Chains A and B, each alone.
Chain A
Amino acid sequence: MAWYYVTLRLKQFWRFFSFNSIHPLIGILLSVFFFGLFSYIVFVKAPHAEWVYAAVGLLALLQMQNVASNHFLKEKAGNQYIPAKLAENYLIILPFLIALVCFKAYLQALLLGLVVAPYSVFNISLSKPQAITLRSPYIKYGFEFNYGFRAFSGFYLVYVLLLVVGIVSGNYYIYILPFVMMLFFLCSFFGYVEDPFYVWIYRMTPGRFLLAKARMVIINYAITFSLFLVAGLIAYHSHCVLLLSLTGMGLLAVLGSMLLKYHFYPSALSIQIAQTIFFFLCLLCIIVPVALVFVLSFLLFSYYRARARLKNTLI
């Protein structure tokens, strides 16, 4: 049973690539390359790299637990649940263990290896989620507001806290950090690929639909970052040009994230690749202002492509 379960999980991993139109062999090679690169960077750059790396391994293990799947396995596998789960969890952390051993972090490798066994037996992710409903201030707006707000509501508190710390301590980098963090979140939930039904349901022309979505981006962006901008302009007024260009480019990045989604809709992989490239292109504009020409042209092009792409679904 345990062996069959692990084989099934490996097949799922293999199919993950083919389902995303990547040849599994290429996907695995790319994964190994990026994992190796990530490990190398962590070990070379980060202080206390061994501990950070072991913590990342543990975090990856936690992230890859699926409550529904664990419940199903426990119910169906009976006393075979623990061997199956042990095998699966050791397989997940195996790359981390190999990297730790390669970088001679034997103690951390041993500790990480030891933590997995009790974790698999007393799986904390087996606890059911609580039915707490969080009030959203964005109830009348589109799904992105509510989904994004609820998914990242905890980070809003961290965002405000870091802003306050950044300003009180006079540390400019701590002040900028929450902006970048929230920008990632906004880009991610405005770039979230919804089910086609939720585009189809709108009784609007593609142009009006995109404008309505753009309006939502602007409102949400203004609500999220007005505090950042006002506080920054007061506390760091000598950096006002940088702050204004940062918030301006951030807005373009979120707008681009939304437009690119409909440009490639519904091909999720192409959307994510394009959004990542566009995000970094927007950040590049702060250093190389001439890149703004490309950003604006790209936005315009994406708008027309998105309009054409949505024509079949919306009219």
Chain B
Amino acid sequence: MITIRELNKSYNKKPVLKDINANFEDGKVYGIVGLNGAGKTTFFNCLSGLTDFEGTIAHDTLSPLKNHLGYVPTEPYFFPRTKGVEYLHFMQHAKGAEAITAALPAMFELPLDEYIDHYSTGMKRKIAFTGAMVGDASIYILDEPFNGVDIKSNLVLKRKILELKENQKTIFISSHIVSSLTELCDEVHLLKDGKFVLRYMPEQFDQIENDLMEL
């Protein structure tokens, strides 16, 4: 279980996350919704350890937590003049993974021998997702994974997330497409002004859109 206590984060003295306390159980899919600037990406950056913060984020068995994470940032950055295959090799090397299974690069049928600079937005997102799948993580953070991705790849993504869920992985997804979250998630949390203000269980999912409209 991931335990978060008194999580606070500010940028230039402007508070972005305020006193977040939450528990996230293993093997579940959590959706995070909120308006632009609500703090979703900052929350994920704190969870992953990509940014410093006040408070504690800990897992009862996995330590250090960052070594058990797969992360797809909302705006993945790629080194200039790097091919798709090199990006995956880099991920393998950095994560200390033994090998990349053949199924992984084949997942999205990407032109891996081309420079990522020449990929479309959707293709960049797909290679970032594939990179996050390299190695064996226990927790996955997917920040807006469906943005700019075509219909077929959207279905592939959803299947992959469900496959991860079957394998008892914990997954955090943020998306502005509520239907994608309600299809996949066990719980959805609403983030408003840096705080988790509402938590929805599957039977309450139909309220999410109404609540978002009232924010």
Contact = CB atoms under 8 A, between A and B. Distances in A.
Indicate whether A and B interact. yes
Interface of A: 131, 133-134, 136, 139-140, 142-143, 146-147, 150-151, 194-198, 200-204, 312-315
Given A151-B80, A315-B64, A142 B50 contact: no
Contact of A131 (B48, B85, B115): B115
A143 B96 contact: no
Given A195-B77, A197-B77, A203 B67 contact: yes
B50 A200 contact: yes
B29 interface: no
Given A131-B114, A312-B52, A140 B89 contact: yes
Nearest to A153: B81
B96 A203 contact: yes
Interface in B61-94: 64, 66-67, 71, 73, 76-77, 79-83, 85-86, 89-91, 93-94
B113 interface: yes
13 contacts: A131-B115, A133-B83, A139-B85, A140-B93, A146-B86, A147-B80, A147-B82, A150-B80, A150-B81, A195-B77, A197-B77, A203-B66, A203-B96
A143 B90 contact: yes
Across the A-B interface, the 3 shortest Cβ-Cβ residue pairs: A150-B81, A195-B77, A201-B94
Nearest to B96: A203
Interface of B: 48-50, 52, 64, 66-67, 71, 73, 76-77, 79-83, 85-86, 89-91, 93-96, 113-115, 118
A198 B73 CA distance: 12
A130 to B, nearest CB: 10
B81 A151 contact: yes
A143 B79 contact: yes
B89 A203 contact: no
B4 to A, nearest CB: 18
A197 B95 contact: no
B79 A139 contact: no
Contact of A143 (B50, B82, B95, B114): B82
A195 B75 CA distance: 11
A195 B51 CA distance: 12
Contacts of B94: 198, 201-203
Contacts of A198: 77, 79, 94
A200 B66 contact: yes
A313 B114 contact: no
B83 A201 contact: no
Nearest to A130: B118
B108 to A, nearest CB: 19
A313 B49 contact: yes
Contact of B115 (A133, A312, A315): A133
Given A131-B115, A313-B49, A203 B95 contact: yes
Contact of B50 (A133, A136, A140, A196): A196
Contacts of B96: 203-204
Contacts of B80: 147, 150-151
A133 B77 contact: no
Most buried by B among A200, A314, A315: A200
Contacts of B115: 131, 133
A200 B49 contact: yes
Contacts of B82: 143, 146-147
B52 A197 contact: no
Contacts of B93: 140, 142
Nearest to B70: A201
A146 B79 contact: yes
B95 A201 contact: yes
Contacts of B83: 133
